[in-house]
Amino acid sequence: MKILLYGIRSFGNLAMIVRSVEHFGYKECYVYNDRESERECVRSDLAAYPKGLQRRLIRVSGGAMARVRIEVIEDYEVFCKNYKGRLIATSVCAGARRLDEVRFRANDCVIFGTEAWGLPRRVVTASDEAVMIPMLGMTQSLNLAVAVSIVLYEGFRQKSGN
């Protein structure tokens, strides 16, 4: 399983997500920003960040930023067209299946939107499937890093047979 972060803008969230990616045994993640002005927020190479930010990213990620491959997607539609696996949107839309009902495959790519806005409707519609984390409380959403960690854990749990 792989993850794609669609529209991530927080360096802190990125570092925490990368930490979880490595923790659960995954090696890479994809990142896409649809706004041209924000494409520079996330870079494939840790060395491309200013030194002070590099140190913060390494610290918050527990060093994982130096070990997990981050692939920045330039064209989302081309990526989707060429991806050899299921594209699974995280969304609370009608028809979304509960996380515990989805059986992940090695080549699945789970797509996460921003905390504030989620994924654009066109991204959810174009995906092969939608998945949601069941909620009981009154909050509208989870922190992005927390949501990613829950999904990564479920993928890990299924893969390890527990």
Return the domain boundaries, the chain.
2-160
Say which CATH superfamily domain 2-160 falls into.
SPOUT methyltransferase, trefoil knot domain (3.40.1280.10)
> What pLDDT score does 99 carry?
98
Q: In this predicted structure, what is the pLDDT of residue 44?
A: 59
- Beta-strand (E) ranges in 38-133? 69-72, 87-90, 97-98, 109-112, 129-132
**pTM for the complete prediction?**
0.90
Average pLDDT per run of 10 along the chain, which is 162 residues long? 93 93 96 68 67 84 90 94 98 95 97 92 97 90 95 96 74
Q: Write the pLDDT tens digit of every residue in 9-38.
A: 888 899 999 999 999 999 999 999 876 545
Residue type, position 67, single letter: R
Quick one: pLDDT at residue 105? 96
Copy the structure tokens of residue 76. Answer: 């989302």
Q: What is the rounded CA–CA span in Å between residue 20 and residue 22? A: 5
* Continuous H helices in 68-116: 76-82
Alpha-helix runs per DSSP H in 24-115? 51-60, 76-82
